Amino acid sequence: MMNDYDVVIIGGGPAGMAAALSARKTGAEKVLIIERDRELGGILQQCIHNGFGLHRFKEELTGPGYAGRYIKMVQADPSIDVLLDTMVLDVEQDKIIYAVNPKQGMLTIQAKAVIFTMGCRERTRGAIRIAGGRAAGVFTAGAAQRMVNMEGFLPGKKIVILGSGDIGLIMARRLTLEGAKVQAVLELMPYSNGLTRNVVQCLEDFDIPLHLSHTIVKVHGKERVTGVTCAKVDENRAVIPGSEFDIECDCLLLSVGLIPENELSRTIDLAMDSLTSGPIVDQFRQTSLPGFFAAGNVVHVHDLVDFVSQEGEIAGNAAAKYALGQLPKAQRVVDIEATGGVRTVVPQHLSITPESPESVRLFMRVGKPEQRITLVIESAGKMLYTRKLAVAKPGEMIVVELPADKVCECTNKITVSLVK
């Protein structure tokens, strides 16, 4: 019976560790975290910049610092088993997990509840179809981050970065500090999706040019990248002919978006949200398949690790209750729909249970930048919540706490929208 667990968590990053601790706190006796890397912590271990944990720990930590605090808590609990260097190959709907590692070979694990916390991965060159040959020197920004911050390699000496999300901006500074020359950052949209703080401290501090409404139309070089051709794009993101110019470089980094990593979710046919690219979940982070939960970037890409940990706690708590037979069945399900300027909302529905209801946090993202607008949450013509927003950006998630009494009032579909 060695491989029987109450709760098995797939992915040992911030969501997985928080889920494990929370499952234990709720009463799960045997908890297992399966992690494919050589240590816990996930992507935090390569994010050596600071700014993590202001909400959770009330101080500005580095990524490894934030991870370290959770790793110590996990290690202090002898009832949380951790399998490192272990890859999950398959999951079955009856909660049997097949995994493999170099020491034990194939493993078969039976869980009462499963939590998916696999995080996300980066979009690659294939996803954005840039023309050119197969010259070496094209990397995703996160892969370069791991090389520079953990493995001790510099991916290039003259760098161009496509995409101005936070990872791209942070890598611009990081490579500059390591002695590389960052020639330019290019952004397809007319605005940066990164925090203003990062635009200022990662680009302006080092006089790195940011070209908004620009893209790369060709990568040059045979064996190694020798340069890129850039061009301006119009409001429909179509290249403006005649606007092309070349930048010399030996390395192109792509910071062009993140995709939740849901291969396992698809093998068991979980219902998916096509906009978040993650499984559809209720407020307990339970997916469409009872006993399977999901939290963190595998559900939707977050901006702040603090919220990832929080989501892990929600899923851990609910998964433990499920494993112990204590998670109440939903009396009815109320869908939540994002409309009118709001692009995504998580959770996508509420499971209304007979137990005394709790308040629910909604995480939303807008489709494009807006100023001076009102966020409206309503159900069947009844206003549940409004908030005036001075500014709303796609890069910054909006978080709203829906009070318990409003939650249990809902019978019809809830809509969230932006009103001018």
Q: Which residues bind another protein (CB under 8 A)?
A: 38-39, 45, 48-50, 60, 62, 64-65, 67-68, 148-152, 174, 176-179, 195-197, 199-201, 204-205, 390-391, 393, 396
CA pair distance 12, 385, nearest whole angstrom: 36
**Minimum gap (Å) between residue 341 Cβ and another protein:** 16
Pick between residue 62 and residue 101 the one whose CB is nearest to another protein: 62
Can you list the alpha helix ranges (DSSP code H) found in 55-193? 63-75, 125-128, 141-146, 166-177
Helices 63-75 and 14-26 cross at an angle (nearest 10°) of 30
Closest to 392 in 3D by CA, of 413, 355, 367, 361: 367
Pick between residue 179 and residue 241 the one whose CB is nearest to another protein: 179
CA pair distance 98, 218, nearest whole angstrom: 43
**Minimum gap (Å) between residue 224 Cβ and another protein:** 24
**Minimum gap (Å) between residue 76 Cβ and another protein:** 14
**Minimum gap (Å) between residue 198 Cβ and another protein:** 9
**Minimum gap (Å) between residue 370 Cβ and another protein:** 12
* Pair 342, 364: CB distance under 8 Å: yes
Pick between residue 200 and residue 271 the one whose CB is nearest to another protein: 200
Pick between residue 111 and residue 148 the one whose CB is nearest to another protein: 148
Strands (E) across 102-171 are located at 105-116, 120-122, 131-132, 138-140, 158-162
Pick between residue 44 and residue 294 the one whose CB is nearest to another protein: 44
Pick between residue 76 and residue 390 the one whose CB is nearest to another protein: 390
Question: Beta strand 349-352 with 382-392: parallel, antiparallel or unpaired?
Answer: unpaired
Q: What is the DSSP letter of 291?
A: T
**Minimum gap (Å) between residue 365 Cβ and another protein:** 14
* Pair 193, 167: CB distance under 8 Å: no
